[in-house]
Chains A and B, each alone.
Chain A
Amino acid sequence: MNRRYVVQRVGFALLTLAALLVVVPILLVVGTIIVRGASAIDWEFLTAMPRDGMKAGGILPAIVGTVLLTLGTALAAIPVGVGGAIYLAEYARDTWLTRLVRLAIINLAGIPSVVYGLFGLGLFVLFLQFGTSILAGSLTLAIMTLPIIISTAEEALRAVPTEFRTVILSLGGTRWQAVRYVVLPQAMPGIITGIILGLLRAAGETAPILFTVAAFYLPRLPRSPLDPTMALPYHLYVISTQVPGMPEEIKYGTALVLLALVLSMNVVATLIRSYYRRRREW
Protein backbone atom coordinates (compact mmCIF):
# COMPACT_ATOMS: atom_id res chain seq x y z
CA MET A 1 0.00 0.00 0.00
CA ASN A 2 1.08 3.52 -0.70
CA ARG A 3 2.89 5.12 2.23
CA ARG A 4 0.62 8.16 2.16
CA TYR A 5 -2.38 5.98 2.85
CA VAL A 6 -0.63 4.35 5.76
CA VAL A 7 -0.11 7.83 7.18
CA GLN A 8 -3.78 8.55 6.62
CA ARG A 9 -4.77 5.33 8.41
CA VAL A 10 -2.64 6.23 11.41
CA GLY A 11 -3.91 9.81 11.36
CA PHE A 12 -7.56 8.78 11.36
CA ALA A 13 -6.87 6.32 14.16
CA LEU A 14 -5.37 9.17 16.22
CA LEU A 15 -8.41 11.36 15.56
CA THR A 16 -10.68 8.52 16.70
CA LEU A 17 -8.54 8.15 19.79
CA ALA A 18 -8.93 11.89 20.52
CA ALA A 19 -12.70 11.60 20.25
CA LEU A 20 -12.65 8.62 22.60
CA LEU A 21 -10.49 10.56 25.06
CA VAL A 22 -13.21 13.21 25.07
CA VAL A 23 -16.16 10.86 25.40
CA VAL A 24 -14.95 8.16 27.78
CA PRO A 25 -14.25 10.52 30.73
CA ILE A 26 -17.72 12.02 30.31
CA LEU A 27 -19.25 8.56 30.58
CA LEU A 28 -16.99 7.83 33.55
CA VAL A 29 -18.06 10.96 35.45
CA VAL A 30 -21.76 10.48 34.81
CA GLY A 31 -21.56 6.72 35.36
CA THR A 32 -19.63 6.94 38.64
CA ILE A 33 -22.02 9.47 40.09
CA ILE A 34 -25.08 7.46 39.07
CA VAL A 35 -23.71 4.15 40.37
CA ARG A 36 -22.41 5.49 43.67
CA GLY A 37 -25.22 7.96 44.26
CA ALA A 38 -28.21 5.76 43.44
CA SER A 39 -28.13 3.91 46.78
CA ALA A 40 -28.53 7.20 48.69
CA ILE A 41 -31.67 8.22 46.87
CA ASP A 42 -34.89 7.32 48.59
CA TRP A 43 -38.06 9.13 49.53
CA GLU A 44 -36.61 10.45 52.79
CA PHE A 45 -33.49 11.82 51.09
CA LEU A 46 -35.59 13.87 48.69
CA THR A 47 -38.29 15.05 51.10
CA ALA A 48 -36.75 15.40 54.56
CA MET A 49 -34.79 18.13 56.30
CA PRO A 50 -31.11 17.49 56.95
CA ARG A 51 -30.27 16.17 60.44
CA ASP A 52 -27.13 15.67 62.57
CA GLY A 53 -25.16 18.52 60.97
CA MET A 54 -26.28 17.41 57.49
CA LYS A 55 -24.82 13.92 58.00
CA ALA A 56 -28.26 12.32 57.94
CA GLY A 57 -31.78 13.03 56.75
CA GLY A 58 -32.60 14.62 53.43
CA ILE A 59 -31.75 17.55 51.23
CA LEU A 60 -35.24 19.01 50.75
CA PRO A 61 -34.31 22.65 51.51
CA ALA A 62 -31.47 22.52 48.97
CA ILE A 63 -33.78 21.13 46.29
CA VAL A 64 -36.48 23.68 47.03
CA GLY A 65 -33.89 26.46 47.11
CA THR A 66 -32.54 25.55 43.69
CA VAL A 67 -36.04 25.31 42.22
CA LEU A 68 -36.97 28.73 43.65
CA LEU A 69 -33.73 30.31 42.42
CA THR A 70 -34.27 28.88 38.96
CA LEU A 71 -37.86 30.16 38.88
CA GLY A 72 -36.73 33.59 40.05
CA THR A 73 -34.04 33.63 37.37
CA ALA A 74 -36.64 32.68 34.75
CA LEU A 75 -38.99 35.48 35.84
CA ALA A 76 -36.26 38.09 35.48
CA ALA A 77 -34.30 36.75 32.52
CA ILE A 78 -37.04 35.64 30.10
CA PRO A 79 -38.68 39.04 29.39
CA VAL A 80 -35.36 40.87 29.14
CA GLY A 81 -33.66 38.12 27.15
CA VAL A 82 -36.47 37.52 24.66
CA GLY A 83 -37.04 41.28 24.31
CA GLY A 84 -33.37 41.78 23.61
CA ALA A 85 -33.42 39.01 21.03
CA ILE A 86 -36.46 40.53 19.30
CA TYR A 87 -34.63 43.85 19.15
CA LEU A 88 -31.54 42.32 17.59
CA ALA A 89 -33.36 40.04 15.15
CA GLU A 90 -36.28 42.22 14.10
CA TYR A 91 -35.56 45.90 14.76
CA ALA A 92 -31.83 46.61 14.95
CA ARG A 93 -30.00 47.79 11.85
CA ASP A 94 -26.29 47.16 11.46
CA THR A 95 -25.08 50.31 13.20
CA TRP A 96 -22.24 50.92 15.65
CA LEU A 97 -24.80 50.78 18.46
CA THR A 98 -25.93 47.32 17.43
CA ARG A 99 -22.33 46.18 17.25
CA LEU A 100 -21.82 47.55 20.73
CA VAL A 101 -24.81 45.51 21.95
CA ARG A 102 -23.35 42.36 20.38
CA LEU A 103 -19.99 43.07 21.94
CA ALA A 104 -21.68 43.57 25.32
CA ILE A 105 -23.48 40.23 24.97
CA ILE A 106 -20.27 38.42 24.07
CA ASN A 107 -18.59 39.96 27.08
CA LEU A 108 -21.47 39.14 29.42
CA ALA A 109 -21.09 35.54 28.28
CA GLY A 110 -17.39 35.63 29.11
CA ILE A 111 -17.43 37.21 32.56
CA PRO A 112 -16.32 34.64 35.17
CA SER A 113 -19.11 33.33 37.36
CA VAL A 114 -17.37 34.41 40.54
CA VAL A 115 -17.20 37.98 39.21
CA TYR A 116 -20.99 37.83 38.81
CA GLY A 117 -21.02 36.84 42.45
CA LEU A 118 -18.98 39.92 43.39
CA PHE A 119 -21.25 42.12 41.32
CA GLY A 120 -24.38 40.64 42.91
CA LEU A 121 -22.88 41.22 46.34
CA GLY A 122 -22.01 44.82 45.51
CA LEU A 123 -25.26 45.81 43.78
CA PHE A 124 -28.10 43.63 45.05
CA VAL A 125 -26.99 42.52 48.51
CA LEU A 126 -25.30 45.70 49.73
CA PHE A 127 -26.24 48.71 47.59
CA LEU A 128 -29.93 47.83 47.08
CA GLN A 129 -30.02 46.16 50.51
CA PHE A 130 -31.77 42.96 49.46
CA GLY A 131 -29.45 41.12 51.85
CA THR A 132 -28.31 37.56 51.09
CA SER A 133 -31.59 36.44 49.64
CA ILE A 134 -33.32 34.49 46.89
CA LEU A 135 -34.11 37.82 45.22
CA ALA A 136 -30.47 38.95 45.10
CA GLY A 137 -29.32 35.53 43.86
CA SER A 138 -32.03 35.23 41.19
CA LEU A 139 -31.22 38.66 39.75
CA THR A 140 -27.49 37.86 39.71
CA LEU A 141 -28.12 34.54 37.97
CA ALA A 142 -30.56 36.23 35.56
CA ILE A 143 -27.91 38.63 34.25
CA MET A 144 -25.51 35.70 33.87
CA THR A 145 -28.13 33.73 31.92
CA LEU A 146 -29.05 36.64 29.66
CA PRO A 147 -26.42 36.17 26.92
CA ILE A 148 -27.36 32.49 26.47
CA ILE A 149 -31.07 33.30 26.13
CA ILE A 150 -30.49 36.28 23.84
CA SER A 151 -28.19 34.49 21.41
CA THR A 152 -30.25 31.30 21.09
CA ALA A 153 -33.54 33.23 20.85
CA GLU A 154 -32.09 35.57 18.22
CA GLU A 155 -30.98 32.58 16.18
CA ALA A 156 -34.47 31.08 16.41
CA LEU A 157 -36.09 34.37 15.31
CA ARG A 158 -33.68 34.77 12.40
CA ALA A 159 -34.45 31.26 11.19
CA VAL A 160 -38.05 32.34 10.42
CA PRO A 161 -38.15 33.20 6.68
CA THR A 162 -38.49 36.87 5.72
CA GLU A 163 -41.60 36.14 3.63
CA PHE A 164 -43.56 35.47 6.83
CA ARG A 165 -43.01 39.10 7.82
CA THR A 166 -43.57 40.65 4.40
CA VAL A 167 -46.93 38.91 4.08
CA ILE A 168 -48.20 40.51 7.29
CA LEU A 169 -46.81 43.91 6.29
CA SER A 170 -48.42 43.65 2.84
CA LEU A 171 -51.77 42.91 4.50
CA GLY A 172 -51.49 46.24 6.31
CA GLY A 173 -50.16 44.82 9.56
CA THR A 174 -47.52 46.58 11.60
CA ARG A 175 -44.04 45.35 12.39
CA TRP A 176 -45.03 44.45 15.94
CA GLN A 177 -48.08 42.52 14.68
CA ALA A 178 -45.81 40.51 12.40
CA VAL A 179 -43.57 39.72 15.35
CA ARG A 180 -46.39 39.04 17.79
CA TYR A 181 -48.65 36.88 15.62
CA VAL A 182 -46.28 35.20 13.18
CA VAL A 183 -42.57 35.33 13.97
CA LEU A 184 -42.73 34.68 17.73
CA PRO A 185 -45.07 31.66 17.51
CA GLN A 186 -42.93 30.17 14.74
CA ALA A 187 -39.72 30.71 16.67
CA MET A 188 -41.17 29.63 20.02
CA PRO A 189 -39.66 26.10 20.18
CA GLY A 190 -36.19 27.51 19.52
CA ILE A 191 -36.71 30.25 22.09
CA ILE A 192 -37.89 27.77 24.73
CA THR A 193 -34.85 25.60 24.03
CA GLY A 194 -32.63 28.63 24.61
CA ILE A 195 -34.43 29.50 27.83
CA ILE A 196 -34.01 25.96 29.18
CA LEU A 197 -30.31 25.93 28.25
CA GLY A 198 -29.85 29.24 30.06
CA LEU A 199 -31.76 28.12 33.13
CA LEU A 200 -29.86 24.86 33.46
CA ARG A 201 -26.67 26.89 33.63
CA ALA A 202 -28.24 28.97 36.39
CA ALA A 203 -29.46 25.91 38.30
CA GLY A 204 -25.99 24.36 38.37
CA GLU A 205 -23.93 27.44 39.18
CA THR A 206 -22.34 27.85 42.58
CA ALA A 207 -20.00 30.82 42.43
CA PRO A 208 -22.63 33.52 41.75
CA ILE A 209 -24.71 32.41 44.74
CA LEU A 210 -21.83 32.00 47.18
CA PHE A 211 -22.16 35.53 48.55
CA THR A 212 -25.67 36.41 47.37
CA VAL A 213 -28.01 33.64 48.57
CA ALA A 214 -26.41 30.66 49.98
CA ALA A 215 -27.04 29.50 53.50
CA PHE A 216 -24.52 26.99 54.84
CA TYR A 217 -27.06 25.09 56.91
CA LEU A 218 -30.67 26.23 57.15
CA PRO A 219 -33.03 23.36 57.86
CA ARG A 220 -36.26 25.14 56.99
CA LEU A 221 -37.94 26.28 53.84
CA PRO A 222 -37.70 29.95 52.79
CA ARG A 223 -40.83 32.02 53.39
CA SER A 224 -40.20 35.09 51.25
CA PRO A 225 -37.98 36.18 48.36
CA LEU A 226 -35.90 38.08 50.89
CA ASP A 227 -34.96 34.90 52.79
CA PRO A 228 -31.62 33.18 52.26
CA THR A 229 -31.81 29.55 51.26
CA MET A 230 -29.74 26.42 50.78
CA ALA A 231 -29.16 25.38 47.17
CA LEU A 232 -28.02 22.08 45.62
CA PRO A 233 -24.71 23.16 44.05
CA TYR A 234 -23.61 25.09 47.11
CA HIS A 235 -24.75 22.26 49.36
CA LEU A 236 -22.61 19.80 47.39
CA TYR A 237 -19.63 22.14 47.75
CA VAL A 238 -20.21 22.52 51.49
CA ILE A 239 -20.63 18.84 52.31
CA SER A 240 -17.68 17.77 50.16
CA THR A 241 -15.18 20.34 51.40
CA GLN A 242 -16.31 21.99 54.63
CA VAL A 243 -17.79 19.18 56.70
CA PRO A 244 -15.31 16.53 57.88
CA GLY A 245 -16.58 12.98 58.26
CA MET A 246 -19.42 13.38 55.77
CA PRO A 247 -20.72 9.97 54.60
CA GLU A 248 -19.69 9.33 50.96
CA GLU A 249 -23.20 8.18 50.17
CA ILE A 250 -24.80 11.55 50.95
CA LYS A 251 -22.21 13.41 48.87
CA TYR A 252 -22.73 11.17 45.85
CA GLY A 253 -26.50 11.28 46.38
CA THR A 254 -26.50 15.09 46.35
CA ALA A 255 -24.27 15.14 43.25
CA LEU A 256 -26.64 12.71 41.55
CA VAL A 257 -29.74 14.81 42.33
CA LEU A 258 -28.05 17.94 40.94
CA LEU A 259 -26.74 16.11 37.87
CA ALA A 260 -30.12 14.49 37.20
CA LEU A 261 -31.88 17.86 37.46
CA VAL A 262 -29.51 19.57 35.05
CA LEU A 263 -29.23 16.70 32.56
CA SER A 264 -32.98 16.18 32.42
CA MET A 265 -33.38 19.88 31.53
CA ASN A 266 -30.74 19.28 28.85
CA VAL A 267 -32.65 16.31 27.46
CA VAL A 268 -35.94 18.25 27.42
CA ALA A 269 -34.27 21.09 25.48
CA THR A 270 -32.79 18.66 22.96
CA LEU A 271 -36.11 16.87 22.50
CA ILE A 272 -38.04 20.09 21.92
CA ARG A 273 -35.46 21.20 19.39
CA SER A 274 -35.35 18.00 17.37
CA TYR A 275 -39.13 17.43 17.55
CA TYR A 276 -39.98 20.84 16.12
CA ARG A 277 -37.13 20.81 13.63
CA ARG A 278 -38.64 17.71 12.09
CA ARG A 279 -42.18 19.09 12.14
CA ARG A 280 -41.26 22.49 10.72
CA GLU A 281 -43.00 23.22 7.44
CA TRP A 282 -40.50 25.73 6.06
Chain B
Amino acid sequence: MRSKHWIEFAIESLIRVLGLSSIGFVLLIFLFLLKEGLPAFFEVAPENLFGVRWYPTFGLFGTLPLILGSLLVTATAIAIALPLGVATAVFVREVAPGWAREVLKPMIEVLAGIPSVVLGFFGMTVLAPLVRVTLNAPTGLTAFTGGLILAYMALPTIISVAEDALDAVPKSYRDAGLAMGATQWQTIWRVVVPAARSGILTAVMLGMGRAIGETMAVMMVTGNAARMPTTLDSLFRPVRTMTATIAAEMGEVARGSTHYHVLFGIGILLFVITFLLNLVAAGAIFKKRRRGGLR
Protein backbone atom coordinates (compact mmCIF):
# COMPACT_ATOMS: atom_id res chain seq x y z
CA MET B 1 0.00 0.00 0.00
CA ARG B 2 2.79 2.38 0.95
CA SER B 3 4.73 1.82 -2.25
CA LYS B 4 1.53 2.37 -4.17
CA HIS B 5 1.21 5.80 -2.59
CA TRP B 6 4.71 6.59 -3.71
CA ILE B 7 4.04 5.54 -7.27
CA GLU B 8 0.87 7.61 -7.31
CA PHE B 9 2.77 10.59 -5.96
CA ALA B 10 5.60 10.20 -8.48
CA ILE B 11 3.19 9.95 -11.39
CA GLU B 12 1.15 12.93 -10.27
CA SER B 13 4.31 15.00 -9.90
CA LEU B 14 5.49 13.99 -13.37
CA ILE B 15 2.13 14.92 -14.90
CA ARG B 16 2.23 18.25 -13.09
CA VAL B 17 5.69 18.98 -14.50
CA LEU B 18 4.56 18.04 -18.01
CA GLY B 19 1.48 20.20 -17.58
CA LEU B 20 3.47 23.23 -16.56
CA SER B 21 6.16 22.64 -19.19
CA SER B 22 4.33 24.80 -21.75
CA ILE B 23 5.06 27.88 -19.66
CA GLY B 24 8.70 26.82 -19.58
CA PHE B 25 8.82 26.45 -23.36
CA VAL B 26 7.39 29.92 -23.99
CA LEU B 27 9.92 31.42 -21.56
CA LEU B 28 12.74 29.38 -23.10
CA ILE B 29 11.85 30.57 -26.61
CA PHE B 30 11.71 34.19 -25.50
CA LEU B 31 14.97 33.84 -23.56
CA PHE B 32 16.90 32.46 -26.52
CA LEU B 33 15.48 35.07 -28.87
CA LEU B 34 16.62 37.76 -26.42
CA LYS B 35 20.01 36.14 -25.93
CA GLU B 36 20.78 36.15 -29.67
CA GLY B 37 18.77 39.21 -30.65
CA LEU B 38 19.32 41.85 -27.98
CA PRO B 39 22.92 42.60 -29.02
CA ALA B 40 21.47 43.98 -32.27
CA PHE B 41 20.02 46.93 -30.39
CA PHE B 42 23.48 47.82 -29.05
CA GLU B 43 25.42 47.13 -32.24
CA VAL B 44 23.16 49.06 -34.61
CA ALA B 45 22.15 52.68 -34.05
CA PRO B 46 18.37 53.13 -33.69
CA GLU B 47 18.11 55.48 -36.68
CA ASN B 48 19.77 52.78 -38.79
CA LEU B 49 17.68 49.93 -37.31
CA PHE B 50 14.40 51.70 -37.96
CA GLY B 51 15.56 53.29 -41.17
CA VAL B 52 14.18 52.72 -44.63
CA ARG B 53 17.11 50.87 -46.23
CA TRP B 54 17.80 47.16 -45.76
CA TYR B 55 21.21 46.43 -47.30
CA PRO B 56 22.94 44.19 -44.73
CA THR B 57 26.13 43.84 -46.80
CA PHE B 58 26.61 47.62 -46.51
CA GLY B 59 25.76 47.71 -42.82
CA LEU B 60 22.31 49.18 -43.48
CA PHE B 61 19.75 47.39 -41.31
CA GLY B 62 16.60 49.48 -41.83
CA THR B 63 13.76 47.16 -40.83
CA LEU B 64 10.96 49.57 -41.72
CA PRO B 65 10.43 48.25 -45.28
CA LEU B 66 10.22 44.72 -43.89
CA ILE B 67 7.73 45.68 -41.18
CA LEU B 68 5.58 47.61 -43.65
CA GLY B 69 5.90 44.76 -46.13
CA SER B 70 4.55 42.31 -43.55
CA LEU B 71 1.72 44.71 -42.69
CA LEU B 72 0.77 45.25 -46.34
CA VAL B 73 0.66 41.53 -47.13
CA THR B 74 -1.22 40.74 -43.90
CA ALA B 75 -3.76 43.53 -44.44
CA THR B 76 -4.37 42.31 -47.98
CA ALA B 77 -4.84 38.76 -46.72
CA ILE B 78 -7.33 39.82 -44.05
CA ALA B 79 -9.21 42.08 -46.48
CA ILE B 80 -9.79 39.00 -48.66
CA ALA B 81 -10.16 36.35 -45.97
CA LEU B 82 -12.45 38.18 -43.53
CA PRO B 83 -15.52 38.62 -45.78
CA LEU B 84 -14.91 35.28 -47.47
CA GLY B 85 -14.38 33.45 -44.16
CA VAL B 86 -17.30 34.99 -42.29
CA ALA B 87 -19.62 34.44 -45.26
CA THR B 88 -18.53 30.82 -45.50
CA ALA B 89 -18.99 30.32 -41.76
CA VAL B 90 -22.49 31.83 -41.96
CA PHE B 91 -23.24 29.65 -44.98
CA VAL B 92 -22.05 26.49 -43.22
CA ARG B 93 -23.76 27.24 -39.93
CA GLU B 94 -27.02 28.95 -40.98
CA VAL B 95 -27.89 28.28 -44.60
CA ALA B 96 -26.19 25.23 -46.09
CA PRO B 97 -28.11 21.98 -46.49
CA GLY B 98 -26.64 19.01 -44.61
CA TRP B 99 -24.84 17.50 -47.59
CA ALA B 100 -23.08 20.79 -48.41
CA ARG B 101 -21.83 20.98 -44.84
CA GLU B 102 -20.52 17.41 -45.08
CA VAL B 103 -18.56 18.36 -48.20
CA LEU B 104 -17.33 21.76 -47.03
CA LYS B 105 -15.95 20.81 -43.63
CA PRO B 106 -13.47 18.15 -44.82
CA MET B 107 -12.46 20.40 -47.73
CA ILE B 108 -11.54 23.16 -45.29
CA GLU B 109 -9.57 20.63 -43.25
CA VAL B 110 -7.71 19.65 -46.42
CA LEU B 111 -6.86 23.32 -46.96
CA ALA B 112 -5.58 23.57 -43.39
CA GLY B 113 -3.41 20.52 -44.01
CA ILE B 114 -1.71 21.64 -47.24
CA PRO B 115 1.91 22.49 -46.33
CA SER B 116 2.78 26.13 -46.85
CA VAL B 117 5.65 25.25 -49.16
CA VAL B 118 3.20 23.43 -51.46
CA LEU B 119 0.92 26.47 -51.58
CA GLY B 120 3.96 28.63 -52.23
CA PHE B 121 5.00 26.34 -55.04
CA PHE B 122 1.51 26.51 -56.56
CA GLY B 123 1.56 30.28 -56.16
CA MET B 124 4.89 30.52 -58.00
CA THR B 125 4.10 28.21 -60.85
CA VAL B 126 0.40 28.86 -61.47
CA LEU B 127 -0.83 31.97 -59.69
CA ALA B 128 2.09 34.36 -60.30
CA PRO B 129 2.11 33.96 -64.12
CA LEU B 130 -1.66 34.50 -64.04
CA VAL B 131 -1.27 37.70 -62.01
CA ARG B 132 1.50 38.90 -64.32
CA VAL B 133 -0.58 38.44 -67.47
CA THR B 134 -3.74 39.91 -65.93
CA LEU B 135 -1.98 43.03 -64.67
CA ASN B 136 0.37 43.21 -67.61
CA ALA B 137 3.13 43.72 -65.03
CA PRO B 138 6.85 42.84 -65.26
CA THR B 139 6.45 40.21 -62.56
CA GLY B 140 3.64 38.25 -60.93
CA LEU B 141 5.56 37.95 -57.67
CA THR B 142 3.83 40.80 -55.83
CA ALA B 143 2.42 41.75 -52.45
CA PHE B 144 -1.03 41.01 -53.84
CA THR B 145 -0.07 37.47 -54.87
CA GLY B 146 1.30 36.91 -51.38
CA GLY B 147 -1.80 38.34 -49.76
CA LEU B 148 -4.03 36.11 -51.86
CA ILE B 149 -2.14 32.94 -50.89
CA LEU B 150 -2.03 34.07 -47.25
CA ALA B 151 -5.78 34.70 -47.29
CA TYR B 152 -6.36 31.04 -48.10
CA MET B 153 -3.92 29.99 -45.37
CA ALA B 154 -5.79 32.10 -42.82
CA LEU B 155 -9.24 30.94 -44.01
CA PRO B 156 -9.42 27.63 -42.10
CA THR B 157 -8.66 29.43 -38.82
CA ILE B 158 -11.13 32.24 -39.50
CA ILE B 159 -13.89 29.91 -40.67
CA SER B 160 -13.64 27.49 -37.75
CA VAL B 161 -13.42 30.17 -35.03
CA ALA B 162 -16.23 32.22 -36.59
CA GLU B 163 -18.33 29.08 -36.88
CA ASP B 164 -17.83 28.34 -33.18
CA ALA B 165 -18.89 31.90 -32.42
CA LEU B 166 -22.08 31.55 -34.48
CA ASP B 167 -22.70 28.19 -32.85
CA ALA B 168 -22.58 29.83 -29.41
CA VAL B 169 -25.46 32.19 -30.24
CA PRO B 170 -28.54 30.69 -28.54
CA LYS B 171 -31.33 29.37 -30.74
CA SER B 172 -33.77 31.63 -28.88
CA TYR B 173 -32.13 34.68 -30.53
CA ARG B 174 -32.93 33.27 -33.94
CA ASP B 175 -36.44 32.30 -32.90
CA ALA B 176 -37.05 35.78 -31.54
CA GLY B 177 -35.86 37.37 -34.78
CA LEU B 178 -38.07 35.15 -36.92
CA ALA B 179 -41.05 35.60 -34.57
CA MET B 180 -40.78 39.38 -35.06
CA GLY B 181 -41.45 38.79 -38.72
CA ALA B 182 -37.89 39.20 -39.92
CA THR B 183 -36.69 37.04 -42.78
CA GLN B 184 -33.99 34.47 -42.10
CA TRP B 185 -31.54 36.75 -43.92
CA GLN B 186 -32.43 39.72 -41.71
CA THR B 187 -32.17 37.58 -38.60
CA ILE B 188 -28.70 36.40 -39.61
CA TRP B 189 -27.24 39.86 -40.28
CA ARG B 190 -29.13 41.93 -37.68
CA VAL B 191 -29.21 39.43 -34.79
CA VAL B 192 -26.97 36.38 -35.08
CA VAL B 193 -23.81 37.92 -36.56
CA PRO B 194 -23.84 40.96 -34.20
CA ALA B 195 -24.31 38.59 -31.24
CA ALA B 196 -21.26 36.63 -32.40
CA ARG B 197 -19.08 39.66 -33.14
CA SER B 198 -16.59 39.16 -30.29
CA GLY B 199 -15.95 35.63 -31.52
CA ILE B 200 -15.56 36.90 -35.07
CA LEU B 201 -13.07 39.47 -33.80
CA THR B 202 -11.13 36.61 -32.18
CA ALA B 203 -11.18 34.84 -35.53
CA VAL B 204 -9.67 37.90 -37.21
CA MET B 205 -6.95 38.20 -34.55
CA LEU B 206 -5.96 34.55 -34.90
CA GLY B 207 -6.11 34.80 -38.68
CA MET B 208 -3.83 37.85 -38.56
CA GLY B 209 -1.42 35.99 -36.32
CA ARG B 210 -1.33 33.17 -38.83
CA ALA B 211 -0.83 35.54 -41.75
CA ILE B 212 1.90 37.69 -40.25
CA GLY B 213 3.92 34.67 -39.15
CA GLU B 214 3.61 32.69 -42.36
CA THR B 215 6.96 32.21 -43.99
CA MET B 216 7.53 29.82 -46.87
CA ALA B 217 4.56 30.63 -49.10
CA VAL B 218 5.16 34.35 -48.65
CA MET B 219 8.85 34.05 -49.38
CA MET B 220 8.14 32.14 -52.60
CA VAL B 221 5.48 34.46 -54.07
CA THR B 222 6.17 38.04 -52.95
CA GLY B 223 9.33 38.65 -54.93
CA ASN B 224 11.37 39.66 -51.86
CA ALA B 225 12.39 43.18 -52.84
CA ALA B 226 13.12 45.20 -49.70
CA ARG B 227 11.52 48.43 -50.90
CA MET B 228 9.28 50.80 -48.98
CA PRO B 229 5.68 49.97 -49.95
CA THR B 230 4.61 53.62 -49.79
CA THR B 231 3.53 54.28 -53.36
CA LEU B 232 0.00 53.59 -54.52
CA ASP B 233 0.99 50.72 -56.79
CA SER B 234 2.95 48.92 -54.03
CA LEU B 235 0.30 46.26 -53.77
CA PHE B 236 1.16 45.08 -57.26
CA ARG B 237 4.91 45.22 -56.89
CA PRO B 238 7.36 42.92 -55.14
CA VAL B 239 7.62 43.30 -51.41
CA ARG B 240 9.61 41.66 -48.63
CA THR B 241 8.29 40.52 -45.25
CA MET B 242 9.99 40.06 -41.88
CA THR B 243 9.54 36.29 -41.92
CA ALA B 244 10.90 35.90 -45.45
CA THR B 245 13.94 37.99 -44.56
CA ILE B 246 14.83 35.72 -41.65
CA ALA B 247 14.25 32.56 -43.65
CA ALA B 248 16.18 33.73 -46.69
CA GLU B 249 19.19 35.25 -44.94
CA MET B 250 19.77 33.25 -41.75
CA GLY B 251 21.34 30.39 -43.69
CA GLU B 252 24.08 32.60 -45.08
CA VAL B 253 25.09 34.88 -42.20
CA ALA B 254 28.10 34.31 -39.97
CA ARG B 255 27.03 33.28 -36.48
CA GLY B 256 27.52 36.08 -34.00
CA SER B 257 27.73 38.80 -36.66
CA THR B 258 25.63 41.96 -36.48
CA HIS B 259 23.47 40.72 -39.35
CA TYR B 260 22.81 37.50 -37.38
CA HIS B 261 21.80 39.48 -34.27
CA VAL B 262 19.49 41.74 -36.30
CA LEU B 263 17.72 38.73 -37.81
CA PHE B 264 17.09 37.45 -34.28
CA GLY B 265 15.95 40.97 -33.39
CA ILE B 266 13.30 40.71 -36.14
CA GLY B 267 12.39 37.36 -34.56
CA ILE B 268 11.82 39.13 -31.22
CA LEU B 269 9.54 41.62 -32.95
CA LEU B 270 7.53 38.81 -34.60
CA PHE B 271 7.28 36.97 -31.29
CA VAL B 272 5.98 40.09 -29.53
CA ILE B 273 3.45 40.91 -32.29
CA THR B 274 1.99 37.39 -32.39
CA PHE B 275 2.09 37.23 -28.58
CA LEU B 276 -0.02 40.41 -28.34
CA LEU B 277 -2.47 39.27 -31.03
CA ASN B 278 -2.95 35.97 -29.23
CA LEU B 279 -3.22 37.69 -25.85
CA VAL B 280 -6.12 39.81 -27.13
CA ALA B 281 -7.72 36.78 -28.78
CA ALA B 282 -7.23 34.69 -25.63
CA GLY B 283 -8.77 37.47 -23.53
CA ALA B 284 -11.92 37.14 -25.60
CA ILE B 285 -11.82 33.35 -25.24
CA PHE B 286 -11.43 33.52 -21.45
CA LYS B 287 -14.19 36.08 -21.11
CA LYS B 288 -16.57 33.86 -23.01
CA ARG B 289 -15.70 30.94 -20.77
CA ARG B 290 -16.21 32.95 -17.56
CA ARG B 291 -19.51 34.37 -18.64
CA GLY B 292 -20.67 30.92 -19.66
CA GLY B 293 -24.36 30.44 -20.11
CA LEU B 294 -24.34 31.38 -23.78
CA ARG B 295 -24.94 27.85 -24.85
**B137 close to chain A: CB less than 8 A:** no
Residues of B contacting A80 in the complex (Cβ-Cβ under 8 angstroms): 18, 21
Instruction: Specify which of B26, B116, B189, B250 is in contact with A104 (CB 8 Å cutoff).
Output: B26
CB pair A266 B11 closer than 8 Å:
no
CB pair A122 B114 closer than 8 Å:
no
Residues of B contacting A25 in the complex (Cβ-Cβ under 8 angstroms): 152
Residues of A contacting B121 in the complex (Cβ-Cβ under 8 angstroms): 236-237, 240, 251, 255
The residue in chain A whose Cβ has the minimal distance to the Cβ of B260 is: A121
A88 to B114, CA, bound (A): 30
The size of the chain B interface, using a CB distance under 8 A, is 91
CB pair A211 B125 closer than 8 Å:
no
Identify which of A13-21, A38-46, A221-229 touches chain B: A13-21
CB pair B22 A105 closer than 8 Å:
yes
CB pair B126 A32 closer than 8 Å:
yes
Residues of B contacting A92 in the complex (Cβ-Cβ under 8 angstroms): 19
Residues of B contacting A113 in the complex (Cβ-Cβ under 8 angstroms): 116, 213-216
A115-B29, A237-B117, A259-B114 are known contacts. Are A22 and B88 too (CB-CB below 8 A)? yes
State which residues 243-262 of A face B: CB under 8 Å.
248, 251, 255, 258-259, 262
State which residues 119-136 of A face B: CB under 8 Å.
119, 121-123, 126-127
**B48 close to chain A: CB less than 8 A:** no
CB pair B18 A19 closer than 8 Å:
no
**A204 close to chain B: CB less than 8 A:** yes
**B139 close to chain A: CB less than 8 A:** no
A276 to B84, CA, bound (A): 33
Residues of B contacting A87 in the complex (Cβ-Cβ under 8 angstroms): 15-16, 18-20
CB pair A122 B19 closer than 8 Å:
no
State which residues 210-240 of B face A: CB under 8 Å.
210, 212-216, 220
Residues of B contacting A270 in the complex (Cβ-Cβ under 8 angstroms): 106, 109
Query: Can you list 12 residue pairs at the A/B interface with Cβ under 8 Å?
Result: A11-B189, A18-B83, A22-B104, A108-B25, A110-B274, A110-B277, A114-B267, A123-B32, A204-B114, A205-B115, A233-B117, A259-B118
User: 12 new A-B pairs (CB below 8 Å) besides A18-B84, A117-B250, A259-B115?
Assistant: A7-B185, A15-B91, A25-B152, A80-B18, A84-B21, A91-B12, A103-B279, A104-B23, A110-B209, A174-B4, A204-B114, A233-B118
